[in-house]
Structure formats: structure tokens, C-alpha cells
């Protein structure tokens, strides 16, 4: 039996692991088999994580967090959770390989999953021109024209990154206001290879075997037009990854896991949540890391309470 | 057991003319999901040595083959039989999901 199991290995999961390990809780981290390290594994330069004045590559930052957690005794398993038993004082976590781990507390930090456009040909052309990862696929679009869909930081980053390879990027955004930070937006706006198309919605993706174009509609005038592009990079945000706890943990209206006030306490005792899965607003590496700290400290406090209670009960017998 | 590499130069002999079913993993150094799926492919290959051989093709070093097969996203895993692509799997997936995708070649 473990003290605590941490599910997730982004900034929230690993920071929780660092704190829990340093509190001698020997946490087990379920890191995922193919998405370990979380979203930052798909980014390039991270320029806003404090302590790295020259910036740091996303995958390098995550490797460092992992090493820091391991240094203090966190154990990391590269597998996926398939089911959870969270009610009751003993929690159980079952993995893809069939292993079942038990613990007194669970920290849930599964982050979020990329949102899809929801268009008929999107799934069919996924990997054939439709992509969610410019850093993975951008190099295949040398001297091509591509579209990036979205208006947040990740859309700006994808667009700017893609200009290394492509001749032209259309940045398509459904409104006139941007969620992106000023620094990222300014960089994209100043780039001669990027053309902004605002108030536009993507209605269709064309292509037999590979993407050949998209159909967009102006949300103000209703005007429709077709853009010839070989790539469509979707960066329209992400949804909290809560499918394993639907009907188990209370969720908010935004679909994140509900926590009590500024704490990480979920609707079940001994279950704590951290990172993007509880955050509909900020979604930064550093806020996720801070949230992971909160969860580790809350879990530590909970474990002390449970431990004291069982000692009192034992003394009373 | 680590899977071996094929190149533009060896692709025809090693993959297209291979009498067995063979899967090519198109990958690159800079691709995080490729690195994540690599040990899973190694495991699948070593658990099914008689069924499916798995080889790797670095798309940066072998652009000709990558272009020929219209690779636009990696990791891309293509199963070849008699010189033809009979199955394509795109993107890093957990081992059970990959095994399910490849079930007909592993049975």
C-alpha cells in the first residue's frame, strides 16, 4: 500500500511528486505510456517559466522535473490508468498492463486533451494534413501553405514555429479579440509569412488522400471562400481530461474537477486534483506547477490526519 | 531487442521485397511522440518475433521514402505485405491500443 499515487506527469504531476517525495511519501507517478511529460513535450522554447532567463525547450524542462522528482524518491511508471476506485479510505488504480496499485490518497493531474473542430473530414484526414502538433509535423510542409486555427498562445506559437518551414500561414480565428499574450501575438503579427483572417469559421476540410484546402465562412458577412492549404493545424484549446472520473468526482460547469476554495480537495476525501484539469482560466506551466504543490501539501496534511486517526483508534482498542 | 533501421537505399530490398509482413516506423529525432512510442514498438516486435518484423526509417535522413509514402505526420507506422501498404497507424498510442490496431498481423 502506497501513501499517495499521482496520476499525470505534466508540471502539476511532477511538481506534486517533488513535494510528496521530499515529504517522504514515496509517491508513485502514473506518467502515461505515450503522453508522459504532458503538453510541454510538444512545445519548443518555453520563455516564461521563471528561472530560465534564456528560455528552455519544453521537453528538457519536463525531463528536469522528472529527474528532480526521481532524485527524492518518486517512482515513475510509464503506463495509462484504465480504471479507478476512489471512494472509501483505500484508493485503487488499475493500469493498462493490468497492475493494480493501492494508496491512501490520489492526486489527479491528467491535464487536458486537444479540442477538435468537429468537422466531418477531420478524423479521416488526421495525420494526412490535419495536425495538432506543429513541432511534430511542421517539417513535412516545407514551401507549402498551411492554416492554423485558433486565437490563443498555442495558435500563435504554432503559426510562428511553422514559418521556419512553410511559405505561408493563414491564421484563422473566429473573433477579433485574442486570448494570446501580447508577446506571442506581436511576434505572429509582425511575421510577414503569417496572414491573419479574423471573424472566420472553418466549415470544411477538403482532400481525397491528403488535405488540399479548407472552406471558411466570415462570421460577420456570411461570405464563404476556399483556401488552398496542404496543412491544417488545430489549436482551438483543450478540454479537461476527466473521463475516468465522470460520475465519481464533482465537476464544475466548465467541465473541470471541482475543488474546495483555493485547495486541491475534490468532492471525495483523499482525492486531490491539480493542474489544467482544475483550471478553466490560466492553464500555464507555472500555475499548474503551483497547483501541484498545493495538491501535495493537501495530500500530506490528509495523510497525517488519517494516520493520527488510525493511531487514536488503535490506542482506544 | 531494438528494432533495426532501413534507409532510402535499403528500402526496396528490405521492405518491398520482404516476403514477410513488415512494419516501418517513420520517425525523427525531434519528434517527442516518436520517442515515446519507440520502446512500445520494440516490445511488440520482441513479443511477436515470428509474426511481425518492425523496422525504423528516419524521415530526416531518408526523405525520398518519406515523400514517396506522403508522410505528413509522425510517428507513422505502415505495415507492408508484398510491397504494398496494407495498414497505416498514425500517432503515438498506448501499447494496448497499438496491439488492437495491429491485431490482424499479430495473431
Report the pLDDT value the prediction gives residue A315, as an integer from 0 to 100.
77
Is residue A264 within 8 A of residue A105, CB to CB? The reply is no
Q: Across chain A, how many H-helices and E-strands are there?
A: 6, 19
**What is the C-alpha end-to-end distance of chain B, expressed in Å?**
20
In the structure, what pLDDT confidence band is assigned to residue A317 with cuts at 50, 70 and 90?
Answer: low
Half-sphere exposure of A103 (CA within 13 A, CB side): 29
Consecutive H or E run containing A11: helix A11-22
Sign of CA dihedral A114, A115, A117, A120: positive
Give strand pairing partners of A6: A29, A107
Report the pLDDT value the prediction gives residue A30, as an integer from 0 to 100.
98
A33 has a chain B CB within 8 A of its CB: yes
Q: Helix A153-162 vs helix A182-190: angle between axes, to the nearest 10 degrees?
A: 30
Q: What's the average model confidence in pLDDT over A54-65?
A: 94
Closest by CA to A285, choosing from A9, A12, A8, is: A12
Q: Across chain B, how many H-helices and E-strands are there?
A: 5, 5
Say whether B94 and A135 touch across the interface (CB within 8 A): no
Report the pLDDT value the prediction gives residue A261, as an integer from 0 to 100.
97
Task: Find chain B residues with C-beta within 8 A of A96's C-beta.
Answer: 94-96
Residues 6+ apart with CB under 8 A from A224: A203, A215, A216, A217, A218
Q: Is the ipTM of this complex over 0.95?
A: no
Mind telling me the catalytic residues of B?
31, 34
A116 has a chain B CB within 8 A of its CB: no
A133 is known as an active-site residue:
yes
In the structure, what pLDDT confidence band is assigned to residue B42 with cuts at 50, 70 and 90?
Answer: very high
Report the pLDDT value the prediction gives residue B30, as an integer from 0 to 100.
84
Q: What percent of chain A has pLDDT over 90?
A: 90
Q: The whole model's pTM is what? A: 0.87
Task: Find chain B residues with C-beta within 8 A of A35's C-beta.
Answer: 36, 92
Could you tell me how many CB contacts below 8 A there are between chain A and chain B?
Answer: 71
Is residue A17 within 8 A of residue A6, CB to CB? The reply is yes
A228 is known as an active-site residue:
no
Task: Find chain B residues with C-beta within 8 A of A124's C-beta.
Answer: none
From A79, A80, A121, A133, active-site residue: A133
Amino acid at each position: 500500500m502506497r501513501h499517495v499515487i499521482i496520476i499525470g506527469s505534466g508540471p502539476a504531476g511532477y511538481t506534486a511528486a517533488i513535494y510528496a517525495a521530499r515529504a517522504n511519501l514515496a509517491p508513485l507517478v502514473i506518467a502515461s505510456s505515450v503522453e508522459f511529460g504532458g503538453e510541454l513535450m510538444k512545445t519548443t522554447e518555453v520563455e516564461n517559466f521563471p528561472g530560465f532567463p534564456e528560455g528552455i525547450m519544453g521537453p528538457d524542462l519536463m525531463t528536469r522535473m522528472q529527474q528532480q522528482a526521481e532524485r527524492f524518491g518518486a517512482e515513475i511508471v510509464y503506463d495509462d490508468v484504465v480504471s479507478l476506485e476512489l471512494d472509501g479510505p483505500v484508493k485503487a488504480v488499475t493500469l493498462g498492463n493490468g497492475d493494480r496499485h493501492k494508496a491512501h490518497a490520489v492526486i489527479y493531474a491528467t491535464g487536458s486533451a486537444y479540442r477538435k473542430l468537429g468537422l466531418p473530414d477531420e478524423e479521416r484526414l488526421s495525420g494526412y494534413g490535419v495536425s495538432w502538433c506543429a513541432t511534430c509535423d511542421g517539417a513535412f510542409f516545407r514551401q507549402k501553405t498551411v492554416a492554423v486555427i485558433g486565437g490563443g498562445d498555442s495558435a500563435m506559437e504554432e503559426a510562428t514555429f511553422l514559418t521556419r518551414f512553410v511559405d505561408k500561414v493563414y491564421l484563422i480565428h473566429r473573433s477579433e479579440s485574442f486570448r494570446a499574450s501580447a508577446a506571442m501575438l506581436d511576434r505572429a503579427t509582425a511575421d510577414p509569412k503569417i496572414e491573419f483572417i479574423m471573424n472566420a469559421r472553418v466549415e470544411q476540410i477538403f482532400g481525397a488522400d491528403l488535405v488540399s484546402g479548407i472552406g471558411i465562412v466570415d462570421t460577420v458577412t456570411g461570405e464563404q471562400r476556399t483556401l488552398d492549404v496542404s496543412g491544417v493545424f488545430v489549436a482551438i484549446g483543450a478540454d479537461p481530461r476527466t473521463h475516468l472520473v465522470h460520475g465519481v468526482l464533482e465537476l464544475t460547469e466548465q467541465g473541470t474537477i471541482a475543488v474546495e476554495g483555493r485547495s486541491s480537495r475534490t468532492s471525495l476525501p483523499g482525492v486531490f486534483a491539480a493542474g489544467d484539469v482544475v483550471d478553466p482560466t490560466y492553464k500555464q506551466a507555472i500555475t499548474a506547477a503551483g497547483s501541484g504543490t498545493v495538491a501535495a501539501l493537501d495530500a500530506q496534511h490528509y495523510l497525517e490526519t488519517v494516520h493520527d486517526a488510525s493511531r487514536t483508534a488503535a490506542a482506544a482498542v | 531487442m531494438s528494432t533495426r533501421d532501413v534507409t532510402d537505399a535499403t528500402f526496396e530490398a528490405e521492405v518491398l521485397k520482404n516476403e514477410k509482413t513488415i512494419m516501418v516506423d517513420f520517425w525523427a529525432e525531434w519528434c517527442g511522440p516518436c520517442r515515446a512510442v519507440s520502446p512500445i514498438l520494440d516490445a511488440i516486435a520482441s513479443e511477436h518475433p515470428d509474426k511481425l518484423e518492425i523496422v525504423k526509417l528516419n524521415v530526416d535522413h531518408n526523405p525520398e521514402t518519406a515523400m514517396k509514402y506522403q508522410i505528413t505526420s509522425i510517428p507513422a507506422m505502415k505495415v507492408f505485405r508484398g510491397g504494398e501498404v496494407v495498414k497505416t497507424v498514425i500517432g503515438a498510442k498506448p501499447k494496448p491500443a497499438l496491439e488492437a490496431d495491429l491485431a490482424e498481423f499479430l495473431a
